Amino acid sequence: MAWSFTSPTSFRLNNGSDTWAASMSRAAPVMEIMKSHESHPSIDRLIVLVFSAVMEVVCVSLPGYIIARLGHFDADKQKFIANLNVMLFTPCLVFTKLGSQLNAEKLADLAVIPVIFVVQTLVSYAVSVVVSKLLGLGKRPSNFITAMGVFGNSNSLPISLVLSLSATLKGLHWDRVPGDNDDEVGARGILYLLVFQQLGQLVRWSWGYHVLLAPKSKYPEYQVETTEEGRYRDDPTMDASRETLIPGLDGSSRDEHYGTETSSESDGYEPAGRTPVAGSSRVSLHDPKNKNVSPPRHHLEPNSGPFATPYEQPDDDILSFPRMTDCHEPVEPQHGIKGQWARVKRTCHTKWVSFKQSCSSTSRTAWAKLPAPMRVALSAIGRVSVRFYNFLWEFMNPPLWAMLIAMVVASVPELQRIFFKEGTFVNNSVTSAITQSGGVAVPLILVVLGANLARNTQGRESHDPEEERIGRKLLIASLVCRMLLPTLIMAPIIALFAKYVPVSILDDPIFIIVCFLLTGAPSALQLAQICQINEVYETVMSRILFQSYVIWILPSTLVLVMLAMETLEWAKT
């Protein structure tokens, strides 16, 4: 048989050594294959290791689930912890993991990640469209299935699994990294996940939020129904009281989608309730439920000039308060140190105002002297710069800023030595403090994950006849389009990338595992929270979370890791 032939060898039988050399030459490929398969554990051992990694995630998440079910970990506390995590602890984890392990050469290889992300997104989209057509679903349920299939969890669960697998699963060290160890493997895995995560966030909050999971009123076929519902709705503040997501639970910190939540004092904690809203403690001045609340004084003081706000204008319906100017104004000290300091501040303020006015006048004069074409060009550049600045601040979040700072530190060898070399003052103080804070990030992510599942696995009464009629179809189709079909299609694509595409990180075992984990990861937790905002199949969404994160996560992770390890073996041959 052709596949059993080896490279041509001489048939001369000079002595025994030649015969032994020829036989060893023919056996070399077989020995190499056996050696390569020894680089990862056997199937039964792999099952135990993956099971232990998943159970580690479950054990950390379980306390949050239990405490939330008991009513001691309500949605306000979950929101606060999630905000704290995304603003402080996760950036610390990102900085310490990436800043100590990256270098300029590794950063250039990350360009392949957007390519794989686009391929994964297109595959998931095509699969969801085909499944929706086969089930004969309309546009709104089809969009829901597409959102479930396209947007997978790339933050909480994959990060925990990658860190756990890097410590338990052998054979993940990269031969291109001298002295590679488990910490470096975990750091590279977090870097890959962060890039995938931010690409997913960008698409999720644009296409996903505004199109795939849009409210029912956005669809023409439901406009008559939503009009009738609004006609008989008793609560006129329904739209203003929609609760929003737990920011940062799946990597997001977008605040522009937050609303407000009103509740009576007699309402107790409801574990199945929606996530409350940041800033819900603010009280409206005209809210009839808050008649005893006195308006803040600074809203009532009149202001001179044509740009006074409505709250600053005199109003007969608003209780007026005496202005501070009606009372005796404090006398500025004239003697001593306090008097000298007051005069210095007044002089500095006067000079600063004069300097700003002078600069403004000079700039207007210089602008007027410029040629008209140059003014047009500079105006266009200014508008583009402002838009880019606004987009940057809207897109960036604390973990991304931490990743950017880590890249800068890693790209400058002297900075990397100052921050991460043992024995330096900065390493013993600043870096050590950041490392301790970063160690809190993953446990907090999982505790909030368990609490979120506790709220979403409670029974809810569905009042949507369409959801009651096709809810089971939506559940099955969403699970199939997220955790089964994309894996079957993407597995050979990733294998071909790993074997034939000449990019160095495709040889990194942890990168292949990350790619496989993302192809079959459960639906993103943010989708449940977006469904709460737009009131889109909330009961079905809670069932999807329970099925994917509780029932199917173990067999799915086991299959994905096994496929990743076999892909690595095949790519090396």
* Residue range 514-558, pLDDT digits in tens: 999 999 999 987 787 788 778 889 889 888 988 998 889 889 998
Please tell me the distance from the alpha carbon of residue 524 to that of residue 454, in angstroms, as a whole number. Answer: 16
Taking Cα atoms as reference points, which of 518, 536, 527, 412 lies closest to residue 466?
A: 536
pLDDT of amino acid 224: 64
Q: Indicate the pLDDT class of residue 251, thresholds 50, 70 and 90.
A: very low
Range with the largest mean pLDDT of 14-18, 64-68, 106-110, 271-275 = 64-68
What's the farthest any 2 CA atoms get from each other in the chain?
A: 118
The answer to whether residue 442 scores a pLDDT higher than 60 is: yes
Looking at residues 198-205, what average pLDDT do you find?
82
Query: Looking at domain 43-225+398-572, which of 2.30.42, 3.40.50, 1.20.1530, 2.60.40 is its CATH number?
Result: 1.20.1530
pLDDT of amino acid 140: 92
Which residues are CB-neighbours of 427 under 8 A, at least 6 positions away? 418, 419, 420, 421
Taking Cα atoms as reference points, which of 335, 338, 270, 257 lies closest to residue 526?
A: 257
pLDDT of amino acid 484: 94
Please tell me the distance from the alpha carbon of residue 63 to that of residue 69, in angstroms, as a whole number. Answer: 10
Please tell me the distance from the alpha carbon of residue 444 to that of residue 242, in angstroms, as a whole number. Answer: 26
The answer to whether residue 305 scores a pLDDT higher than 50 is: no
Range with the largest mean pLDDT of 64-68, 287-291, 523-527 = 64-68
Which residues are CB-neighbours of 252 under 8 A, at least 6 positions away? 86, 201, 204, 205, 245, 397, 526
Paired strand residues for 523: 152
Q: Indicate the pLDDT class of residue 82, thresholds 50, 70 and 90.
A: confident
Taking Cα atoms as reference points, which of 75, 121, 142, 127 lies closest to residue 537?
A: 142
The answer to whether residue 120 scores a pLDDT higher than 90 is: yes
Residue ranges of domains in the chain: 43-225+398-572, 336-395
pLDDT of amino acid 54: 82
Taking Cα atoms as reference points, which of 399, 458, 453, 517 lies closest to residue 60?
A: 453
CB of 428 closer than 8 Å to CB of 223: no
Angle 531-536-541 from CA coordinates, rounded to 5°:
65
Helix or strand or coil: residue 523? strand
Summarised one tens digit per residue, pLDDT across range 337-392 is 877 888 888 899 999 999 989 998 888 888 888 888 888 998 999 899 998 888 77
Please tell me the distance from the alpha carbon of residue 43 to that of residue 46, in angstroms, as a whole number. Answer: 5
Instruction: Dig out the tokens for 373 from the structure.
Output: 């074409």
pLDDT of amino acid 404: 85
The answer to whether residue 434 scores a pLDDT higher than 90 is: yes
Please tell me the distance from the alpha carbon of residue 289 to that of residue 291, in angstroms, as a whole number. Answer: 6
- Compare 231 and 300 and report the one with higher pLDDT: 231
Q: What is the DSSP string of 69-114?
A: HHTSS-HHHHHHHHHHIIIIIHHHHHHHHHHTT--HHHHHGGGHHH
pLDDT of amino acid 560: 93
pLDDT of amino acid 101: 73
Helix or strand or coil: residue 152? strand
Burial status of residue 360 (CB atoms within 10 A of its CB: 0-12, 13-18, 19 or more): exposed
CA torsion sign for 157, 163, 166, 172 is positive
Which residues are CB-neighbours of 524 under 8 A, at least 6 positions away? 151, 152, 153, 154, 155, 200, 204, 250
Q: What is the DSSP string of 35-56?
A: HHHTTS--HHHHHHHHHHHHHH
Q: Quote the mean pLDDT of the chain.
A: 75
pLDDT of amino acid 76: 81
Instruction: Dig out the tokens for 256 from the structure.
Output: 């522009």
The answer to whether residue 395 scores a pLDDT higher than 80 is: no
Q: Indicate the pLDDT class of residue 247, thresholds 50, 70 and 90.
A: very low
What is the total residue count of the chain?
573
